[in-house]
Amino acid sequence: MTTTPACPVARGPRGLPVLGVAAEYFRDPAGYTLRLQEDHGGMVDVTLPKPFVQVTEPEAVDRVLRGNPDNCTRGELYKGFIGYMGRGLLTLDDPQWRPHRKVVQPAFSRTRITADAEEAVAATRVVLERWATRAGQVFDMAADVMAISTRTMGQALIGRDLSVPGLGYDRAAAIASKVMYTRTVFGVNELLPGFLNTRYQRERRWSHRVIDGVVHAAITSRRRSGVERGDALDHLLASDLDEQAIRDDLRTLLLAGTDTTGQALAWTLYELARHPAVRREVEDEVDRVLGDAAPTPATRDELVVTRSAVDEALRLHPPVWQFPRDLIEDDVLAGRSVPGGSTVLLSTYGTHRSAEHWTDPEAFDPSRFRDGSTRHRQAYFPFGGGRRMCIGRDLALATLVTAVAMTTRRFRLTLSSRPVRVGTYITMFPSDGIHVTARERR
C-alpha cells in the first residue's frame, strides 16, 4: 500500500526582515487575512514578526480541534493572555485544564441557563426603556447593548451587575482585549518597558485594578454572606482549587463571556438594520411567537428565524476572530505537512468568509442556516470546537436570541450616515461604535 506524500504549506509574502508583513497586516488585519486566503489558499505560512501558519481550511481546523487535539498546546501566543487571565480555563493546556472545567461545568447546565437567561430579559428591558427616551436622537447602539451582556453575564457568573454606572467594567474589559492582543500578535510582553508612564501603561494598570477589584469584591461578598446561588463563583469556592486558580478562572470567565456576547449582539442588530427584508422576517416571527410576552425557553426554541440571524451575524462577525495553537509533533493538516513546534493560527473570520465553503460569503443571508445545506462541521465555529469549545456557548446564544427578539419587537433601528469601521483586538468590534436612531414599532 502506498500513501501520497503531504504537500508543504504555501509560502505567503515574506515581507521585511524581522518584522515580516506586520506593516501591511496592521493596516487591516481582517482584510489582510482574507487576501492571504484568496492568494495562497486555506493554509499559508506568514511572519508577523513571529512565524505562524494561517489556517482557514475546515479540514485542517477539524484536525487541530477535534482530530488530534493531544498534539496541540495553547502555545507561546497564549502567554499574552496570562497577565489578565492568569493560569485558568483559557490558558491552561488540557491536562491541567480538565479539573478547572469539571468544577465550573455545573454552572452552565440547562437549568442554570434557563434561570440566567431571565436576567437577559431584565437587562434588555432597561436598555430599551433608555432608547424610548431618545426619539429622533442619534446614539451609539453598540455601547448600550454591551450593558445587556455585562449585566447578564455578571449576574450569571458572580451574582453582580457589571453594567452599573461608575464601575467602568466595560472600558476595563475593552482595554484588556487590546493589551492581550498586543502581547499576542507581537509574541512579546510589551514593546515599551512597563515603568514608562505612557497612556497605554496607565490604561493597562487601571483596567487591572478594575477587573481585579470586581473579582476580589465578588469573592469577599460571597464568603461573608454564605448565600449560595449555584453559579460559577459558588462552584469555584467549593472546589479544591487554590485561591489564585479561583481568581484566574473568574477573570477568564468574565472577560471571555462579557465582551464576546456584547459584540455579537451589536453586530446582529447592525446587520438587521442594514437588511430590511431580513428584519421584517424576524419581526413577523417575533410578533407571532412572543406577542407581548417575554421570551421563555420554549418560545426561544420557536424563534428559528431570529436564531438564524444570530448565527449569520456570528458567521460574518465572529467575536473571537482567530486563535492559536502550537503543534507538539509533526502533523498533516488538510494534506499539508506542518512541523512540530509550529504555531497555527485558526482564522474563524477567514473560514467563515471562504468562497470555497460558503455561497456568496460576504452576503448577510440567515436562510443558509435553515435550508438544510450540508457543509463541513468546522466551516462554522464561532465558539471554537472539540473539547475546548466555549463553555458559555448556550448561555451566550440564549442571551443573544432573547435580546434580539425583544429589541426587534419594540424598535426599528436605522443606521446613521456615520460609517461603521471594524476594529480587531482579541475580539472583532465596531471601532467607532454603531450610530443609529430608534423608532418604536408600536
Q: Per the omega criterion (within 30 degrees of 0), is the bond before 193 cis?
A: no
pLDDT of residue 10: 92
> Using CA atoms, how far apart are residues 335 and 5, in angstroms rounded to an integer?
8
Strands (E), 12-108: 43-47, 51-55, 72-73
Q: Please state, in angstroms and as integers, the Cα–Cα distance from residue 5 to each residue in 11, 52, 333, 335, following that order.
A: 18, 22, 12, 8
- pTM: predicted TM-score of the whole model, two decimal places: 0.95
Give the largest Cα separation in the chain, rounded.
Answer: 74
Contacts of 321 (CB under 8 A, 6+ apart): 30, 347, 348, 349, 424, 427, 428
**Residue 134, CA atoms < 13 Å, CB-side half-sphere:** 18
Superfamily of domain 7-440: Cytochrome P450 (1.10.630.10)
pLDDT of residue 386: 95
> Using CA atoms, how far apart are residues 281 and 303, in angstroms rounded to an integer?
11
Q: Is 72 annotated as a binding residue?
A: no
DSSP conformation class of 20: B
DSSP string, 382-418: TT--GGGS-TTHHHHHHHHHHHHHHHHHHEEEEE-SS
The grid cell for 60 is: 485542517
Strand, helix or coil at 435? strand
In this structure, what are the phi and psi dihedrals at residue 390, rounded to the nearest 5 degrees?
-50, 125
Between strands 7-8 and 336-338, the pairing is: parallel
40 with 8: CB under 8 angstroms?
no
What does the pLDDT profile of the chain (442 residues) look like in tens digits? Answer: 445 678 999 999 988 888 899 889 989 999 999 999 999 999 999 998 889 999 999 999 999 999 999 999 999 889 889 999 999 999 999 999 999 999 999 999 999 999 999 999 999 999 999 999 998 899 999 999 999 999 999 999 999 999 998 999 999 999 999 999 888 765 544 555 556 778 888 999 999 999 999 999 999 999 999 999 999 999 999 999 999 999 999 999 999 999 999 999 999 999 999 999 999 999 999 999 999 999 999 999 999 999 999 999 999 999 999 999 999 999 999 999 999 999 999 999 999 999 999 999 999 999 999 988 788 999 999 999 999 999 999 999 999 999 999 999 999 999 999 999 999 999 999 999 999 999 999 7
> Using CA atoms, how far apart are residues 301 and 295, in angstroms rounded to an integer?
9
